[in-house]
Amino acid sequence: MYFPVMRGKQNELIALKELASIVSPHNFKPIIEPVRSNFIPLIRTIHALNEYNIIPIVIINPCMGDFKDKKINIIKDLKNNLLELDINFIPCIKVTSPADSYKKLIDSINFLQFPEKAVYVYDDIDRDKIDLLSHINYVIINRYTPLMIIEQLDNIILMDDPFQKRNKNADYSHKSFFSDLHNSFEKFHPKVIGFGDYTIVGDNYSENGGPAFVVTIHLSYIDDEEYYSMYVRHFSSEDDKTPTNPAGKFIQALEKIIQLLNSHINPFIESNGIKELKLLHKDRHFPGLGVIKKISMKHHIETICKYLNRSL
């Protein structure tokens, strides 16, 4: 099963709602990390996922965006929501410091309300953290965790951050290796039940991107000639040394995508994200850089889910 981490910003939540009817709940369970104190969009997103039998994992002690430098538990905010929607999610504790401060939080989750719990050990695992992870339904850990530790855990999700993010869009080459976890996680260890990543955004959180001297569109694909590993193609506009005309730069990058899509070496699946790009090209429309990133995230998730779907 695939567990992508999605930050709770507007376009990430919209992407999840749009994916709900497309991907199978048997191989897709997003991990949502809230970053906004207005919970209404998050609650609506959870409800939209639930309508298609997708039960997301939600980090209830977020520490980014509006929650930076705050010790908070949002579980009551979600369950006692103003919309009075009946929502179903799996609460997740994100462990980012010594284990002692988290045990009480984990134990406080009402089993009658939440029959399943998740813990995301963001940093390295030590002996104290191993003790936290007994009787946890989803244990999210770094994919490079030593085997001796994995042997002591159950219900493991291997988390990775393989997107090779550059400081400037102009620095991207035409393609980069992403990961092979989608075809290796099942062979990694019998206790591993899934894997996750931060899609084509990466783990580094920022409120807004910088000025777009170059517009780059990232599209993932699985290369059957390279042992079914995942790669990312990077389609960039010309660099005119100014942050002006993002719409024109988007069309430049999009033209390169359409040219490849129309060739005999097109590596991409016909995802909803690809269909959206084709429509934008037809209409010569620039929807904004945030929407372009949303389309890339959707295509990435659809690509992995379609690959996993082959064995269902």
Residues 6+ apart with CB under 8 A from 101: none
Question: What is the Cβ-side half-sphere exposure of residue 100, based on CA atoms within 13 angstroms?
Answer: 0
pLDDT in tens, 192-247: 999 999 999 999 888 777 778 999 999 999 999 999 999 999 999 998 889 999 99
> Quick one: tokens of 117?
């719990």
DSSP 20-79: TTTS-TTSB--EEE---S--HHHHHHHHHHHTTT---EEESS--SGGGTT-----HHHHH
pLDDT in tens, 120-179: 999 888 777 888 888 899 999 999 999 999 999 999 999 999 999 998 888 889 999 999
List the chain domain ranges.
1-159, 168-175+210-312
Element housing 256 (H / E): helix 246-261
How far apart (Å, rounded) are the C-alpha atoms in residues 31 and 180?
A: 20
Residues 6+ apart with CB under 8 A from 151: 189, 191
Q: Are 308 and 27 contacting, i.e. CB atoms less than 8 angstroms apart?
A: yes
